[in-house]
Structure 1
Amino acid sequence: MIAITGATGHLGQLVIEKLLTTVNPQEIVAIVRNPAKAQALSDKGVLVRSGDYNDSAALALALQSVEKLLLISSSEVGQRTSQHRNVIEAAKAAGVKLIAYTSLLHADTSPLGLAAEHVETEAMLAASGIPTVLLRNGWYTENYLASVPPALEHGVFIGSAGKGAIASAPRADYADAAARVLTHDDQGGKIYELAGDEAWTLSELCATLSTLSGKNVAYQDLPEADFAAALVGAGLPEGFAALLADSDAGAAKGGLFDDSHQLSALLGRPTTPLIDSLKAVV
């Protein structure tokens, strides 16, 4: 039995989609906060169980008979450490034999503020005694795609990444890698630094976008505080805006770059290039 937390989220759904190509649906457990939102998974034969990151007892029940668990990091930044602790303790109580955790690229040395809770979770996993495999995911290409329509409209793409190289890949590539790890043995103790084969700067993204659209799109690099303020002005909550600006600033320091090609090695194919994702949006 393989269980996935956050199974109705963007990444969770993609992982299950990949697993269903090789695994009997009755051997897949989708752990979700609201089972009513997982009807599509139930219709495919996947076992849907209720489990909230904040409810240890419910998680322990949801993990009964589970051998492998994909712990997809919580989306609630600031609460991740306590929530992940609940999942790890529940997994230990249920006798889970392997946990795969979606961490952050080079979490232990990352300049991104997002790294702190991942480092804390990795430490808890190490202390749990449960064999663990760390999927240190790099940036999702989708993180920048939402900015493409306004950039095309106004001719400007703003950020704080400077000339930082971003080795991104779409969520589907990371999901495919996670599914492969979950269906192969002897993964305990491994650490995968996962990133796209192709690294690009935001200026290069704009150049590609200009070519594809036929519209001139320029990159405007802003100080971190100014970028955060612009995001708030565009309607984002202050906390989320600050997080995005910090991540962009981290990219300028090399925090989103990796050239080890471990993701494509896991996939057995090249990662999906940026231009393919931009074509779909344009």
Structure 2
Amino acid sequence: MSIAITGATGQLGRLVVAALKAKAPTTKIIALVRSPEKAADLGVEARAFDYSIPESQAAALAGVTTLLLISSSEIGQRVAQHRNVIAAAKAAGVRLLVYTSLLHADHSPLSLAEEHRATEADLTASGIPFVILRNGWYAENYTMGVPAALAHGALVGSAGDGRLSLATRADYAEAAVAILTGAGQPGQIYELAGDAAVTLSDLAAEIGRQSGRDIPYTNLPRDAYAAVLKQAGLPAPLPDLLAAWDIDASRGALFDDARQLSALIGRPTTPLAEAVRAALA
């Protein structure tokens, strides 16, 4: 069996490769990346692969039995890019395609969900056996704001008292590896999220507890939060998107209590305190 991972030099992809090497050391692992030279430190075979260049994909997928399609980071181009990969996987005879989608993609209000819904439909229509991992929000999406919170003495956002079922990238990577190495059955859809739902006030309190400082959470209107993000230097359209997703989160878009992630990985998901500790380190 050979397992290939798209986006293998990305933040999630690197964790998947490392976890897969540890769990299945005799399995042939193939890193599919735009620049193979950047994958040299992964310690696995690397093949040139670009989501947007179909003609590069068939050769890269030669001999691949299982493919992890980590969703593209290029918002607005994902449907076409993923469609390219699905077509190439079918032509190459891939036996199982595992796709990283979005939590509750079938009805999520997040603007990200539309592209994931389209890819899920393309997968269903392709005839390739598949498993869909609907990943919830990474804890790192919020803990990356820890340095700014410490610098300014407050954590800001627009999620209000919305409950966030956060898990770390490592948790989601471990779930992907479980599926890649035989857990689950083709056709299954997993709703993956952290065990414990927290609010941004909880996050601010934990940052304060570990840093020994008073770090309150300040909830801002959507436009005001977007303005803060723009002032911090985030490129368009990220500030407006992040602020809009926080509003969705305030209405429950990032909450899930089914605990399918911890069931899949066989342990509790990483607690908030540990995620904050990593960010502070």
TM-score range, shorter-chain basis?
over 0.9
For 2:235 and 2:146, locate their aligned partners in 1 and report how far apart those are by CA, in whole Å. Answer: 20
For 1:22 and 1:201, locate their aligned partners in 2 and report how far apart those are by CA, in whole Å. Answer: 34
Moved over 3 A (4+): none
Residue 26 of structure 1: how far off its partner (Å): 5.8
Aligned to 2:236: 238
* Secondary structure of 2:32 counterpart: strand
For 2:5 and 2:151, locate their aligned partners in 1 and report how far apart those are by CA, in whole Å. Answer: 39
For 1:190 and 1:60, locate their aligned partners in 2 and report how far apart those are by CA, in whole Å. Answer: 26
Output aligned runs, 1:147-166, within 5 Å.
147-166=145-164
Contact 1:84 1:121 in 2 (8 A): yes
For 1:176 and 1:156, locate their aligned partners in 2 and report how far apart those are by CA, in whole Å. Answer: 33
Long gaps (5+) in structure 2: none
For 2:151 and 2:243, locate their aligned partners in 1 and report how far apart those are by CA, in whole Å. Answer: 22
Contact 2:99 2:132 in 1 (8 A): yes
Given the two structures, how large is their TM-score scaled by the length of structure 1? Answer: 0.96
For 1:170 and 1:186, locate their aligned partners in 2 and report how far apart those are by CA, in whole Å. Answer: 21
Residue 209 of structure 1: how far off its partner (Å): 1.4
Once the two structures are superposed, residues 132-158 of structure 1 have per-residue CA deviations (whole angstroms, 9 ceiling, x without a partner) of 111000010111112111111211111
For 1:275 and 1:132, locate their aligned partners in 2 and report how far apart those are by CA, in whole Å. Answer: 35
CA gap 1:202/1:242 in 2 versus in 1, 3 angstroms = same
Aligned to 1:137: 135
Contact 1:26 1:47 in 2 (8 A): no
Output aligned runs, 1:54-203, within 5 Å.
54-184=52-182, 187-203=185-201
For 1:223 and 1:210, locate their aligned partners in 2 and report how far apart those are by CA, in whole Å. Answer: 23
For 1:191 and 1:280, locate their aligned partners in 2 and report how far apart those are by CA, in whole Å. Answer: 30
For 2:125 and 2:275, locate their aligned partners in 1 and report how far apart those are by CA, in whole Å. Answer: 39
Aligned to 2:39: 38
Aligned to 2:24: 23
Aligned to 1:221: 219
Residue 25 of structure 1: how far off its partner (Å): 5.7
The CA RMSD measured in Å over matched residues stands at 1.1
Contact 2:3 2:27 in 1 (8 A): no
Residue 39 of structure 1: how far off its partner (Å): 0.8
Once the two structures are superposed, residues 90-149 of structure 1 have per-residue CA deviations (whole angstroms, 9 ceiling, x without a partner) of 001101111100000001111111111111110111110111111000010111112111
Once the two structures are superposed, residues 12-55 of structure 1 have per-residue CA deviations (whole angstroms, 9 ceiling, x without a partner) of 110011111132466111100001101112xx2x2211110011
Residue 186 of structure 1: how far off its partner (Å): 5.3
Residues 90-99 or 180-189, more deviating: 180-189
For 1:115 and 1:35, locate their aligned partners in 2 and report how far apart those are by CA, in whole Å. Answer: 30
Once the two structures are superposed, residues 47-66 of structure 1 have per-residue CA deviations (whole angstroms, 9 ceiling, x without a partner) of 21111001112111111111
* Secondary structure of 1:20 counterpart: helix
For 1:99 and 1:35, locate their aligned partners in 2 and report how far apart those are by CA, in whole Å. Answer: 22
For 1:25 and 1:8, locate their aligned partners in 2 and report how far apart those are by CA, in whole Å. Answer: 21
Long gaps (5+) in structure 1: none
Amino acid at match of 2:163: A
Amino acid at match of 1:21: A
Given the two structures, how large is their TM-score scaled by the length of structure 2? Answer: 0.97
Contact 1:74 1:83 in 2 (8 A): yes
